C-alpha cells in the first residue's frame, strides 16, 4: 500500500539534486601571467568577458606568483583579456 507524503517532505532531496546539477555545470579557469623569461607579473587584471556584448563576467588580479583562478563560470563562450599598466593590450583569447 502506498502512503501519501506531503510535498515539503521531498524538498531536501529536490534541493540536493538541484545543487548537484548547478555544481556540475560550473567551470573554472586557472593560469599564470609572466612578462617573459618566467618572471611573474603580479597585479595584472584578468578579465573574463562575454562574447555577446563584452560585458564583464568575472575579474581578478594576478597574485604575487602571477597566478589567477576564475571560479564558478557558467557554460558559454568568452574572451579572456589581461591588462597591466605599462604593457600593451594584446588581442583577447577566445574561450569556449
How confident is the model at residue 92, as a pLDDT?
Answer: 72
pLDDT tens track, the chain, 96 positions: 444 444 333 333 333 333 333 444 578 989 988 888 888 989 999 999 999 998 999 999 999 999 999 999 988 889 888 888 888 877 677 777
Question: pTM of the predicted model, to two decimals?
Answer: 0.68
The range of the structural domain enclosing residue 34 comes to 27-95
Q: Is 5 within a domain?
A: no
> 29 near 66, Cβ under 8 Å?
no
Q: Is 44 within a domain?
A: yes
Q: Is 33 within a domain?
A: yes
Q: Is 71 within a domain?
A: yes
How confident is the model at residue 43, as a pLDDT?
Answer: 94
Place of cell 568577458: 49
Q: Is 57 within a domain?
A: yes
Q: Is 12 within a domain?
A: no
What CATH number did the domain enclosing 46 receive? 2.60.40.10
Q: Is 6 within a domain?
A: no
DSSP label of 1: -
How confident is the model at residue 25, as a pLDDT?
Answer: 53
DSSP label of 38: T
How confident is the model at residue 35, as a pLDDT?
Answer: 83
The number of distinct structural domains making up the chain is: 1
Amino acid at each position: 500500500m502506498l502512503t501519501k507524503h506531503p510535498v515539503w517532505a521531498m524538498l531536501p532531496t529536490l534541493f540536493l539534486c538541484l545543487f548537484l546539477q548547478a555544481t556540475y555545470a560550473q567551470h573554472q579557469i586557472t593560469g599564470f601571467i609572466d612578462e617573459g623569461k618566467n618572471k611573474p607579473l603580479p597585479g595584472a587584471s584578468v578579465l573574463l568577458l562575454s562574447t555577446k556584448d563584452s560585458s564583464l563576467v568575472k575579474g581578478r588580479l594576478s597574485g604575487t606568483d602571477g597566478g589567477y583562478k576564475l571560479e564558478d563560470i557558467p557554460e558559454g563562450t568568452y574572451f579572456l583579456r589581461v591588462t597591466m599598466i605599462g604593457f600593451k593590450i594584446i588581442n583577447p583569447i577566445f574561450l569556449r
